[in-house]
């Protein structure tokens, strides 16, 4: 015979098991990762104490919840494609931006958003067209035939005005 306390304790066991499974999912998905300490990871800022850990503001910039009265120019930094994947005809290009957040927000009203929002225009091998890349995920271009290639990555504001750009040139090796 089941009593109210038996039912409650079985519910608690099920709830605990479900919470544990969710916790494993979160850790496996990378949501529970701990970021490394800023100390030793970034160059020492001229405004910080030499050798002291950088503040969060020095590493990630101003808080995104407070409008800025003046914003420094937007910048994009693009790495060369990963060489191991190039042998398979796949260009995996990592990038980061400074003074612009990559978000799928477009149009004139987005100009008023501060800090500024932007997206990428990606052009492969001087094609007459490009695509909009509106996330911080890595740019992946495949399949690419063997030979020389280039990828133009432009940082554009919500109205598609280019703020900064960088081109990566590389060769896909022959199999």
CA-CA-CA-CA torsion for 100, 33, 50, 99, nearest 10 degrees?
Answer: 0
Which CATH number fits the domain that encloses residue 160? 2.60.40.10
- 73 domain-assigned: yes
- How high is the pLDDT of residue 47? 53
- pTM for the model: 0.64
Measured between alpha carbons, how far is 37 from 108 in angstroms, rounded to an integer? 39
Task: Dump pLDDT digits (tens) for 94-129.
Answer: 999 999 999 999 998 898 888 899 999 999 999 999
- 49 domain-assigned: no
Structural domain including 134 reads 67-172
- 167 domain-assigned: yes
- 4 domain-assigned: no
- 94 domain-assigned: yes
Q: How many domains does the chain have?
A: 1
């Amino acid at each position: 015979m089941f009593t109210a306390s038996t039912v409650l304790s079985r519910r608690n066991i099920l709830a605990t098991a479900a919470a544990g499974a969710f916790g494993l999912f979160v850790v496996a998905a990378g949501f529970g990762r701990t970021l490394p300490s800023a100390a030793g990871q970034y160059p020492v800022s001229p405004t910080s104490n030499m050798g002291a850990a950088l503040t969060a503001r020095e590493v990630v910039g101003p808080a995104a919840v407070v409008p800025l009265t003046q914003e420094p120019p937007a910048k994009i930094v693009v790495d060369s494609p990963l060489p191991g994947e190039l042998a398979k005809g796949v260009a995996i290009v990592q990038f980061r931006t400074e003074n612009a957040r990559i978000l799928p927000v477009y149009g004139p009203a987005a100009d008023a958003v501060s800090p500024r929002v932007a997206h990428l225009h990606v052009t492969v091998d001087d094609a007459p067209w490009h695509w909009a890349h509106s996330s911080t995920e890595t740019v992946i271009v495949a399949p690419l035939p063997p030979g020389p290639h280039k990828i133009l990555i432009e940082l554009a504001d919500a109205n598609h005005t280019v703020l900064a750009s960088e081109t990566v040139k590389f060769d896909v090796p022959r199999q």
